[in-house]
Copies of this chain bind each other. A is one copy, B any other.
Amino acid sequence: MKKEKSKGVLFDCCRGGRIGLPEAVFCQGKPWPILLDLLERFQDSPILFTRLEPEVFEKAPLVLRQKYDYEPISRTAFAAAQPDQGDLGRVALVSAGSADAPVVREAARTISYLGYRHTLYEDAGVAGIWRLDGKIEEINAHHVVIVVAGLDAALASVLGGLTPRPIVAVPTSVGYGLARGGESALSSMLVSCAPGVTVMNIDNGYGAACAAARILKLLAE
């Protein structure tokens, strides 16, 4: 049989330099040997690991794990963060319920890792929606608003009508039946009556943080 010739990782790795966002490793579905290798290789580098489940991370040797700042709800890890940007960028993270925690905290951790500030407002779901008004001034003191919600995602529309800030909406896969793994929330956000609400893929907290970072970098120029 002929030998397979793999050209391996074909291209160089300058994405960070090109678009100003550092590399991230999406761990879900990656075989453990490859993950372990990456954890070892980047134990002193500012590389973010996402979707790293606790039961997977625990398979790494203790000494390696200790090199990493790991947070289990957000399922993120990094050995070193990006340089702190001081108070140049502030992101408000608002989520609808406690089931949205993994997603909103993945966004929060990514914001932190990228060197920006954030405030986390959880459990702002339907019972409390109309009372957001009382908090809105505080939320508007941030530069970007990330809203995380599943089910009917009404929170995105309500916030979109209350804040003039750039708003990034992340649907979550919570719920059953017609929630359809987050597709219902996604649709609601895309057809939101509030103008200028932008949307990410279902459960993509990391992507929302990157979208916010693109804006914050612009502010810093």
Binding site for B on A (CB under 8 A): 1-2, 4-13, 15, 18-21, 24, 28-30, 34, 69, 81, 84, 96-99, 105, 108-109, 112-113, 117-133, 135, 143-144, 151-154, 156-158, 160-168, 171, 173-184, 186-204, 206-207, 209-215, 217-219
Contact = CB atoms under 8 A, between A and B. Distances in A.
Contacts of A120: 4-7
Contact of A157 (B69, B154, B207): B154
Contacts of A4: 105, 108-109, 112, 118, 120
Given A121-B10, A198-B168, A191 B175 contact: yes
Contacts of A127: 11, 13, 15, 18, 161, 193
B158 A177 contact: no
A167 B214 contact: yes
A15 B125 CA distance: 11
Nearest to A117: B2
Contacts of A194: 19, 126
Contacts of A212: 196
Contacts of A168: 198
Copies in the complex: 8
Q: Secondary structure at chain A's binding surface: helix, strand, loop or mixed?
A: mixed
A193 B215 CA distance: 19
A29 B203 contact: no
A97 B29 CA distance: 12
Nearest to A135: B10
A85 to B, nearest CB: 10
A112 B2 contact: yes
A199 B170 CA distance: 11
Contact of A24 (B21, B24, B157, B195): B195
Given A120-B7, A218-B165, A126 B177 contact: no
A1 to B, nearest CB: 5
